[in-house]
Amino acid sequence: PEVKEDFTQAGKCLLFDTSTAASFHLLRATEAVVRRYYKALTGVEPKLKFRNWGAYIKVLREKGANQKITQHLWHVKENYRNPILHPEANVSPDEAQVLFGVCVSAIFLMANEIRTLGGKAGGAPIDRDDQRS
């Protein structure tokens, strides 16, 4: 539900030409799925005080995460998430559209992997409605 809500809000932000706000919602939605993938792979929730994509990616790599996913997440972190978090950063409508595609790609990869992990390592299968989030 939180992923769907953030995508809904991102869409509204894009509609009303608030691209930076849309970017925050897209990255929040992606992080929600990163946290779910983390749990599916490791069997535990990531600690809330360590809401750090670098830390997530490090643990995912150590636990044998799909390299395609960790490389994609690293790309998102370095080229989109970290730069956007700076107060002086503004995101153009074109950049927000690119980020939309990048986030959908990351979520798609993780959703498929979560489904594959299923009952392994404490993971819960993702249902079709969740995949479209």
| Span 98-131, pLDDT tens digits | 999 999 999 999 999 999 988 454 444 444 344 3
More confident residue, 65 or 50: 65
Contact residues for 66 (Cβ-Cβ < 8 A; gap 6+): 109, 113
Look up the pTM and report it. Answer: 0.85
Residues of the chain with pLDDT > 90: what percent?
Answer: 77
pLDDT at res. 86: 86
Report how far residue 110's alpha carbon sits from residue 66's, in angstroms, rounded to the nearest whole number.
9
Identify the pLDDT of residue 133.
36
- Token digits of residue 33: 């799925």
What's the pLDDT band for 50 if we cut at 50, 70, 90? confident
3 Cβ contact partners less than 8 Å away, ≥ 6 residues apart: 29, 32, 33, 107, 130, 133
Reported confidence tier of residue 91, pLDDT bands at 50, 70, 90: very high
Q: Six-digit token pair at 36? A: 């779910």
pLDDT tens string 38-49: 999 999 999 877
Res 127: pLDDT: 42
